[in-house]
Amino acid sequence: MVSERMLKALNEQLNRELYSAYLYFAMAAYFEDMNLEGFANWMKAQAEEELGHALRFYNYIYDRNGRVELMEIQKPPKEWESPLAAFEAAYEHEKFISNSINELAALAEEEKDYATRAFLEWFINEQVEEEASVKKVLDKLKFAKDSPQVLFMLDQELGQRAPKLPALLIPQGE
């Protein structure tokens, strides 16, 4: 059993992961409207990963005999000034999530909740990857500036990203 304080913090993180999925679906829709299908694909894969993160928190709360409490999910923005602005926002968001995972880990240590601290290890490592993958695209967009050719090439590249679908999200029979 986790403490009330820890349970509240885990439920809040579950909400942040669901919001992350919302944010990336919103960015995917923004790219669909621009006919940048590769960018949209990348964002959808990102959103699916976020649902997987949410599911990890959901399952962990029950593994520790807690109660999932779903909260209102904030409405994400609909538009960004440019693909670069969208990726800048994504990068800022991932840094915010890394910080919130670190705060959760600090709380687990403070409470001597070593099981939760161990559970969070996966997320600490995942956030390094999350920040790096967004930053990689961001740097390429900065390099592209306003070149439609480079943007087109990047769109082709991002179209290659295959989602690491959580098992629960894979339709049966596939």
Binding of residue 113 to ligand FEO (CB under 6 A): no
Q: Tell me the closest approach of the beta carbon of residue 153 to ligand FEO, in angstroms.
A: 25
Binding of residue 94 to ligand FEO (CB under 6 A): yes
Binding of residue 17 to ligand FEO (CB under 6 A): yes
- Find out whether 116 and 56 touch, Cβ atoms under 8 Å: no
- Out of 130, 137, 151, 155, name the contact with ligand FEO by CB under 6 A: 130
Question: For the chain, how many residues are written?
Answer: 174
Q: Tell me the closest approach of the beta carbon of residue 59 to ligand FEO, in angstroms.
A: 15
Binding of residue 20 to ligand FEO (CB under 6 A): yes
Q: Tell me the closest approach of the beta carbon of residue 85 to ligand FEO, in angstroms.
A: 18
Site for ligand FEO in 42-81 (CB under 6 A): 50, 53
- Find out whether 71 and 8 touch, Cβ atoms under 8 Å: no
- DSSP of 34-91: TT-HHHHHHHHHHHHHHHHHHHHHHHHHHHTT------PPPPPPS--SSHHHHHHHHH
Eight-class DSSP state of 173: T
Residues that bind ligand FEO (CB under 6 A): 17, 20, 50, 53, 94, 97, 130
